[in-house]
Amino acid sequence: MNDPRQVPSPHVAAGSPTAARGPDVAAGPPDPLRLCVFSTVALLGWLLGPWALVVFASVAVVGYARARRAGLLRSRCKLGDTRLVLAYLVVLAGVAAAAIIVPFVR
């Protein structure tokens, strides 16, 4: 892996230069993985209402957008590419916002 903006694999060989650096060496911008996880948990909590999903997904979009501008290209999120993660989070926020607005339009 030559690009320092890439998230290193958790399965790094013991003798590799990446493993020699140790876990305390910063490899680049922070990966806001927890924000993706929080948004997914909020999705599962849809029964409590879409408000939580709007809040968590919006916070996650801001976090991932900042990380992407700082140079993060790959996330530890299952989707991998930060563009896919951002698209996923925007769709979640949009669906939740629609679920909040639709009852008032009828």
pLDDT tens-digit profile, the chain (106 residues): 566 666 665 555 555 555 555 555 556 777 888 888 878 777 777 666 788 888 889 999 999 999 999 988 988 888 888 999 999 999 999 999 999 999 888 7
**40 neighbors 78 (Cβ within 8 angstroms):** no
For residue 27, being part of any structural domain is answered with no
For residue 3, being part of any structural domain is answered with no
For residue 14, being part of any structural domain is answered with no
**10 Å Cβ neighbour count for 49?**
13
Task: Work out how many domains the chain is built from and give that number.
Answer: 1
For residue 74, being part of any structural domain is answered with yes
Residues spanned by the domain of 81:
53-106
- Which residues on neighbouring strands pair with residue 81, listed in sequence order? 74
- DSSP class of residue 74? B
For residue 13, being part of any structural domain is answered with no
For residue 6, being part of any structural domain is answered with no
For residue 61, being part of any structural domain is answered with yes
